[in-house]
Structure 1
Amino acid sequence: MKPLQIGALLLLLLTTGFCASAQEQQVADSLVSSLEEPAHSPRKATIYSAVLPGLGQVYNKKYWKVPLIYAGFAGFIYAIDWNNDYFVLYRQAYADILDDDPNTNSFLDLDIEGHWDFTNASQVQQFATRLKRAKDYSRRNRDLVIIATAAFYAINIIDATVDAHFFNFDISDDLTMNWAPGPMFCSGQPLAGIHVSIRF
């Protein structure tokens, strides 16, 4: 073989080897990227929790929070219903005591101990005032619990979003700070000091 042919053959082999090596590297890179876990999305966690409370926490793998969320909602719904029942009861009794119809007398059921004389106009007025206060108090409590429920719903969404942001946060032992006594130099003069090193 002539030296020119040998050189061409070597050049061909080297270029083919480099191309194959580059292709192997691309295949290896694509395999690594396909095996990597997809990025954890705070946007998905927010949408999931907004659509169904607790679903964002499941997405963040914080399963222990789901029963707490549903227990909270159950408590709020019970409190809303309880206050609303009393509001409806007092509102009807207040409406009955103010009208002139003798057949509408649901307020009599609220005088359990029978201390009120409903033939006396001043006592009827006092009882009506108490009914109005009780009605307003129950309505106020019901409305406050509705607002608290809406706030709890918002907190559920915020919690899922914040957890998703910190999902890949590194809290391993590599996050350390070490300190040790050591010399320091100021204007060429040695002084006692402390060396601090922070490792990320």
Structure 2
Amino acid sequence: MKLKLLFFLCISLFTFSKVFAQQDSLALRTQSIAKVDSIQGNFKEYNPLAPAKAAFFSAIFPGLGQIYNGSYWKLPIVYGALGTSVYFYIENDKQYNRYRDAYKRRLAGYNDDEFQDRLDNDALINAQKHFRRNKEISILVTAAFYILNIVDANVDAHLQQFNVSNDLSMKPNFKYDQFTGRTNYGLSFNLNF
């Protein structure tokens, strides 16, 4: 529990410091950058702090950065991934405690545990090792999904600020060479003003 709390505080402080570091470095910027919404023709102001805000929100509460970005469809994925890994941690912890308690009772001299007729002491030790390993893997997977949630919110906020108007296009280009009879392959990059 202390390790999870320490990990959460480190990630939160790191993200919090990044927000203020970016804010100070961008304070000197006087011109605003805008992009054109190609569908409506309206100008949307470029927000350089949006990725940091999205990452900070996701660090505070998983899924909040996706809500900030407007990617509501990602919420079931975030909560499904985190919920599944937490579920497996809880199940492996319960099983680990069952086998550990039975082993402790045998060491204390009791012969009334639930595994008395089926498992010997070595099998109880091996089961404890197995479930402890699975429990530790579940913690790592939960931490990985938590970090992925933060990274996804940050990257999604970055990608929302790219110009994706119809004036930019890249298409494959196939050109038939009449002299050699071969087909040449390439990419055509078009920029319309």
Q: Which TM-score band applies after superposition, normalised by the shorter structure?
A: 0.5 to 0.7
Structure 2 match to 1:199? 190
Residue equivalent to 2:51: 42
Cα gap change, 1:46 to 1:95, in 2 (>3 Å): same
Q: Output the CA distance in 2 between the equivalents of 1:58 and 1:98.
A: 53
1:160 aligns with 2:165: no
Map of 1:80 onto structure 2: 89
Matches of 2:106 and 2:56, distance apart in 1: 50
Alignment of 1:71 onto 2:64: no
Structure 1: which 5+ residue stretches go unaligned? 1-31, 117-125, 184-192
Q: CA RMSD in A?
A: 3.0
Whether 1:110 aligns to 2:119 is no
1:91 and 2:97 matched = no
Shift of 1:43: 0.6
- For 1:123, the equivalent position in structure 2 comes to none
The answer to whether the 8 Å contact 1:45/1:60 transfers is yes
Shift of 1:170: 2.5
User: Does the Cα contact within 8 Å between 1:87 and 1:139 map onto a contact in 2?
Assistant: yes
Number of the residue aligned with 1:54: 63
**How big is the shift at 1:194?**
9.4
CA distance in 1, matches of 2:67, 2:147: 17
Provide the C-alpha distance between the structure 2 equivalents of 1:36 and 1:55, rounded to a whole number of angstroms. Answer: 22
2:85–2:142 contact (8 Å) kept in structure 1: yes
Residues 106 and 58 of structure 1: CA distance in aligned 2, closer, same or farther (over 3 Å): farther
Q: Distance in 1 between matches of 2:146 and 2:107?
A: 40
Q: TM-score, normalised by structure 2?
A: 0.64
Are the counterparts in 1 of residues 59 and 150 from structure 2 also a CA contact under 8 Å? yes
Count of aligned pairs? 143
Pairwise CA distance, 1:45 = 0.7
Percent identity of paired positions between Structure 1 and Structure 2 = 36
| TM-score, L = length of structure 1 | 0.62
Amino acid at match of 2:115: L
Query: What does the per-residue CA deviation read over 1:115-165, in whole Å, with 9 as the maximum and x for residues that have no partner?
Result: x5xxxxxxxxx7000000001111110111011100110000011111111
Q: Equivalent residue of 1:45, what SS?
A: helix
Q: More displaced, 172-181 or 82-91?
A: 172-181
CA drift at 1:60: 1.1
Bigger radius of gyration: 1
Structure 1 runs of 4+ aligned residues shifted over 3 Å read: 35-38, 177-183, 193-197
Secondary structure of the residue that 2:120 maps to in structure 1?
helix
**Cα offset, 1:174, TM superposition:** 2.5
1:171 alignment counterpart: 164
- For residues 94 and 195 of structure 1, the distance between their equivalents in structure 2, rounded to whole angstroms, comes to 68
| Aligned equivalent of 1:131, options 93, 104, 124 | 124
